[in-house]
Amino acid sequence: MAASRLPFHAPCIQIAGIRDEQEVRLLLEAEVDYLGFPFRLPVHAPDLSEASAAELIRKTGIHARAVCITYETTPEAIVGLCHTLGVAAVQLHAPMPLGALQELRRLAPELGILHSLVIGRDPLDQLAQQLQRLAPFVDGFLTDTFDPTTGASGATGYIHDWQTSAAIVRAAPRPVILAGGLTADNVAAAIAAVRPAGVDAHTGVEDHAGRKDPDRVQAFVREARKGFALLKTQD
C-alpha cells in the first residue's frame, strides 16, 4: 500500500456527527481515533454551527483527530472551512475535478484528504476508474452507502454490498475506510468481509434522539477492535 500523508493510522475508528463537548468527551474516553464534523451538505442539516464546532475543537484539543465532512468543491472554500474549524483532515463527498484536488493539495499540503466512493449509485467499473484517477491526489477513501429514496450518500444508516467495498479495498492504492450502516452488531462481520483500514459510524451509535449513546459507542469500539485484531491474526 502506498504511504499515506493522512494523519490516519490503521486500523482506525471514526465516528461522525458530533454535536457538543459531552459527545467529544465520550468519544475520546471510548478511544475513538477520529471525529467527523459534517458541514455544508445538501441533504443533512448541520449538528452545530461552524463557529461552535471550531470552538469545540479548540477547547477539547482534538485538532489532530478532527475531520471535516463536506460537499464543498472549491479548493479555497474547503481550505477556508478546514482552517476555520481547525481540523487536520477533510472528507470530500462531492466529485471534484482533478485540477481542483491538486489545487487543494497545493493550498493546504498539511491537510489530510479522504474521498468518498458511493456504493449503490455508481457501478463497480466506474468506482474502479474513480479510484485510480483520484488516488494520486488523496490520502485515502471512504466507501459509503447511497440511499435512492432520499438521494443521501452519507449518514444513511444503511449498509451496502460489502463485496463491492472489498473489491475496492483490494484495488485501492490508498487506505479505505468502510462506512454505511455500521453498528456494534455488524462491524466485526463487516471488517472480516471487507478488510478495510478503518471503520466509520454515525447513526448506528446514536439513540432515538440523535445523540451519541455511550453503550452503543463503547460496544461499537469494542467490536471493531475485535474485528481488526482477528484480521491481524490472519495476515
Ligand X SMILES: O=C(O)c1ccccc1NCC(=O)[C@H](O)[C@H](O)COP(=O)(O)O
Contact track, ligand X, 120-149, x by CB under 6 A = ------------------------xx----
Amino acid found at 140: G
* Pattern 34-53, ligand X, x by CB under 6 A: --x-x--x-xx---------
The identity of residue 75, as a single letter, is: P
Grid coordinates in use for 45? Answer: 442539516
Neighbours of 15 (CB within 10 A): 26
Question: CB-wise, 52 or 102, nearer to ligand X?
Answer: 52
Number of residues that bind ligand X (CB under 6 A): 24
Identify residues 65-124 at the interface with ligand X (CB under 6 A). Answer: 69, 93
Instruction: Give the span between the Cα atoms of 217 and 220, in whole angstroms.
Output: 5
Binding mask 166-185 for ligand X (x = CB under 6 A): -------------xxxx---
Cell 463536506, located at residue:
70
Spatial separation of the C-alpha atoms in residues 90 and 137, rounded to whole Å = 13
Return d(Cα 175, Cα 168) in angstroms, integer: 10
Count CB neighbours of 40 within 10 A: 17
Using the rule CB under 6 A, is 17 a contact of ligand X?
yes
Q: Which of 130, 120, 126 is nearest to 156 (CA)?
A: 120
Which listed range, 50-58, 129-137, 151-159, 217-225, lies at the site for ligand X (CB under 6 A)? 151-159
Strand-pair category, 34-39 with 66-70:
parallel
Mark residues 196-235: x for contact with ligand X by CB under 6 A, - for none: ----xxxxx-------------------------------
**In the complex with ligand X, which residue's Cβ is closer, 18 or 131?**
18
State the minimum distance, in angstroms, from the CB of residue 204 to ligand X.
Answer: 5
Please report how close the Cβ of residue 37 comes to ligand X at its closest, in angstroms. 9
Instruction: Please choose, from the candidates 111, 8, 21, the residue with its C-alpha nearest in 3D space to the C-alpha of residue 60.
Output: 21
Interface residue with ligand X, options 4, 143, 156, 165 (CB under 6 A) = 156
State the DSSP code for 71: -
List contacts with ligand X (CB under 6 A).
Answer: 16-17, 36, 38, 41, 43-44, 69, 93, 144-145, 154-157, 179-182, 200-204
